[in-house]
């Protein structure tokens, strides 16, 4: 089915952010960003730990001051995930976090200042093998571009990116990724599409300042989903005015829905109707809460009646077709046993966790024998 829906991934060079490959055909990674005060090392590390538990691949940390850079040193030494430092204006902060072992720098060479300052940052990154991210944002385009284009536009964003790219090209530094973010979906789509034909660097996708949990999820799903279906995009961040953990969940849900990456429980559930033989909505909501800790891929179908239930259950690893007073549980697509409807959540959780344990054990055996 994927071959009929998704275009072939855009070919790009590959960079490494810590141990995470970006571009070059690598799995699309999911990022988030801390919203704590970076100088509060304890709070920042606690948030990073929660993001790691949610499955995040890379975490970005804002480093606006030298005090934040000193805090970042301690954060880097404790965090168990690649970290990107977000730097603006002050090149000495960039040099400091490079010294402290950052995995990637998010900068705009154009706002670092004099060319010698940019060279100092690039030389240090090159010496340490650290990639950069050029981040173009429609809300912070330079004055010259705004005078030329009158207002933020895809053309202005692409020109800004090409200007930054030219600086790095002249310094013989190819190890960078690019983002072209706007809060306006169509501007973002056009900018990425335009630049995709001109460079081979990997793309970091996002709809910036997308909004709250619901509205931001919708905007990000439409924008990022459109690009991913076209084969554009190598790493993603969902920008939500919400708990950063929600960004990770939504990011993986987008990738799962497109068949691009599967982590955790892929839950297929009916919206429920008068045919349902149990309260589908409450069962599904409770299951999602209980199973948030699972990162091993597993397909689960929970359907409230026999109209679509058997078909969905037969293609899932764990399935349930509603009936009364007992529903029929499937394992590996095969009817296995009946479950009292009062105990559906407990029984489904138990079945799913057993299946996950079996899969994890099988993976360990394969690794041990290889």
Paired tokens of 285: 């909501």
Q: Please report, in angstroms and rounded to a whole number, the separation of the first and last CA atoms in the chain.
A: 32
Same domain, 242 and 341: no
Q: How many CA atoms lie within 13 A of 244 on its CB side?
A: 23
Which residue in this structure is represented by tokens 């559930």? Answer: 269
Q: Quick one: which of 57, 15, 100 has its CA closest to 247?
A: 57
The pLDDT value given to residue 3? 45
Q: Which positions ≥6 away from 138 have C-beta within 8 Å?
A: 152, 153, 156, 157, 181, 182, 183, 184, 187, 188, 208
Domain count, the chain: 2
CATH number of the domain residue 282 falls in:
3.30.413.10
Same domain, 104 and 236: yes
∠ at Cα 297 (353, 302), nearest 5°? 65
Same domain, 247 and 325: no
Q: How many CA atoms lie within 13 A of 37 on its CB side?
A: 3
Same domain, 211 and 330: no
Same domain, 162 and 244: yes
Range of the domain at 358: 265-369
Paired tokens of 163: 């200007």
CATH number of the domain residue 131 falls in:
3.20.20.20
Same domain, 327 and 253: no
Q: What is the pTM of this model?
A: 0.85
pLDDT digits (tens, 9 = 90+) for 168-220: 999 999 999 999 999 899 999 999 999 999 999 999 999 988 789 999 999 99
Of the candidates 214, 231, 257, which is a domain's last residue? Answer: 257
3-state secondary structure 17-74: ECCEEECCCCCCEEEEECCCCCCCHHHHHHHHHHHHHCCCCEEEEECCCHHHHHHHHH
SS3 state at 170: helix
Same domain, 192 and 312: no
Same domain, 16 and 60: yes
Same domain, 306 and 210: no
Same domain, 59 and 21: yes
Same domain, 95 and 140: yes
Which positions of the chain have pLDDT values less than 70? Answer: 1-5, 109-111, 113
CA 233 to chain centre: 11
The pLDDT value given to residue 159? 93
Q: How many CA atoms lie within 13 A of 128 on its CB side?
A: 23
Task: For residues 25 and 198, give the distance between their C-alpha atoms in angstroms, rounded to a whole number.
Answer: 18
Task: For residues 86 and 101, give the distance between their C-alpha atoms in angstroms, rounded to a whole number.
Answer: 14
Same domain, 249 and 325: no
3-state secondary structure 291-353: CCCCCCCEEEEEECCCCCHHHHHHCCCEEEECCCCEEEEEECCEEEEEEEHHHHHHHHHHHHH
pLDDT digits (tens, 9 = 90+) for 36-69: 999 999 999 999 999 998 899 999 999 999 999 9
């Amino acid at each position: 089915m994927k071959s009929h829906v998704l275009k072939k991934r855009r070919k790009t060079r590959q960079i490494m952010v810590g141990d995470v490959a970006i571009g070059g055909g690598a799995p699309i990674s999911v990022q988030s960003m801390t919203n704590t005060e970076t100088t509060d090392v304890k709070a920042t590390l606690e948030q990073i730990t929660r993001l790691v538990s949610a499955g995040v691949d890379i975490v970005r940390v804002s480093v606006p001051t030298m005090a934040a850079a000193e805090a970042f040193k301690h954060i880097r030494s404790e965090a168990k995930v690649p970290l990107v430092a977000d730097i603006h204006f002050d090149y000495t902060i960039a040099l400091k976090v490079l010294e402290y072992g950052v995995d990637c720098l998010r900068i705009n060479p154009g706002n670092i200042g004099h060319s010698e300052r940019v060279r100092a940052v690039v030389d240090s990154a090159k010496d340490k093998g650290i990639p950069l991210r050029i981040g173009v944002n429609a809300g912070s385009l330079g004055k010259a571009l705004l005078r030329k284009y009158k207002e933020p536009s895809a053309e202005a964003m692409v020109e800004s990116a090409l200007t930054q790219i030219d600086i790095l090209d002249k310094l013989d530094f190819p190890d960078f990724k690019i983002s072209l973010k706007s809060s306006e979906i169509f501007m973002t789509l056009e900018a990425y599409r335009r630049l995709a034909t001109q460079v081979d660097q990997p793309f970091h996708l996002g709809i910036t300042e997308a909004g709250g949990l619901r509205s931001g999820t919708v905007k990000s799903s439409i924008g990022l989903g459109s690009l991913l279906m076209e084969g554009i995009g190598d790493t993603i961040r969902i920008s939500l005015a919400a708990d950063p953990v929600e960004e990770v969940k939504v990011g993986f849900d987008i990738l799962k829905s497109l068949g691009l990456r599967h982590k955790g429980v892929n839950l297929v559930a009916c919206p429920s109707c008068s045919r349902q033989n149990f309260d589908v909505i409450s069962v599904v909501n409770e299951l999602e809460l209980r199973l948030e800790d699972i990162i091993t891929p597993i397909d689960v179908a929970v359907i409230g009646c026999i109209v679509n239930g058997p078909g969905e259950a037969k293609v899932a690893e764990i399935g349930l077709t509603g009936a009364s007073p007992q529903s029929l549980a499937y394992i590996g697509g095969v009817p296995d046993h009946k479950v009292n409807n009062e105990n559906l959540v407990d029984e489904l959780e138990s079945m799913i966790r057993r299946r996950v344990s079996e899969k994890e054990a099988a993976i360990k055996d394969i690794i041990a024998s290889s």
